[in-house]
Amino acid sequence: CKTLIDTLNSVGVACSTCNRKYCLKHRIPEDHDCKNIIPVGARQGIRGPSQADKARSALGRLKLWGKEKQAAVLPKPKPSTAASRAVALNQLKRTAKGDEKVPLEKRIYLHVEAEANTTTSKLPKGAFWYNKAWSVGRLLDDAARGLQVQNVNNRGGGEEERLRVFHVEGGRLLDFGEKAEDVLAQGNTIVLLRGVGPVSAAA
């Protein structure tokens, strides 16, 4: 259509679905093929799969990635004897960083990584200690700060922007309300993931 809109002779009619203006003849969504047009101001792919499809896809991706991580991400195979586990934990304690205010007896030492496909971080991985009485949500905030990963969890936003904690040894996403000492052990590995959906969708 070559009709000029927003003139004195032809007023443009706004379509609330695709955020564009049309002449009177093409104002109805079916007349301007609205369902196949990406809305103005929308991100590419916004009309893609539903949230449930995204969650299922992310879960499949996460499980596959988790299996690969369980097999390959750990620096070495987990020590099999108590003595070698103690040596590995002592080595982790020597290199770990964290809040000095956390008393030694309350510290839990973890390997922390940022998954490269879903997050961007200045540091891809590190060794840190946290207070074992902290919730997973607070631990996530501190881990994101430590790896310099952008964390928008406390500012709202959609699920695709939220960070989640994946426990490699447990093979599952951790809920923000769980206590670190209840779900994690000394020397475990956690991975920060973005856009994998809520824990309930992944269960």
Greater model confidence, 9 or 132: 132
Beta strands in the chain (DSSP E): 13-15, 20-22, 107-114, 125-131, 163-167, 172-174, 189-194
Residue type for 47, please? R
Predicted local confidence at residue 183, as pLDDT: 92
pLDDT in tens, 9-39: 777 888 888 888 888 888 888 888 888 887 7
Across the range 77-83, mean pLDDT stands at: 63
Q: How far apart are CA 158 and CA 141, in angstroms?
A: 17
Predicted local confidence at residue 117, as pLDDT: 59
pLDDT in tens, 139-186: 988 988 888 887 777 776 667 778 888 888 888 888 889 999 999 988
**Cβ atoms 118, 150 nearer than 8 A:** no
Predicted local confidence at residue 101, as pLDDT: 92
Token pair recorded at residue 79: 């020590």
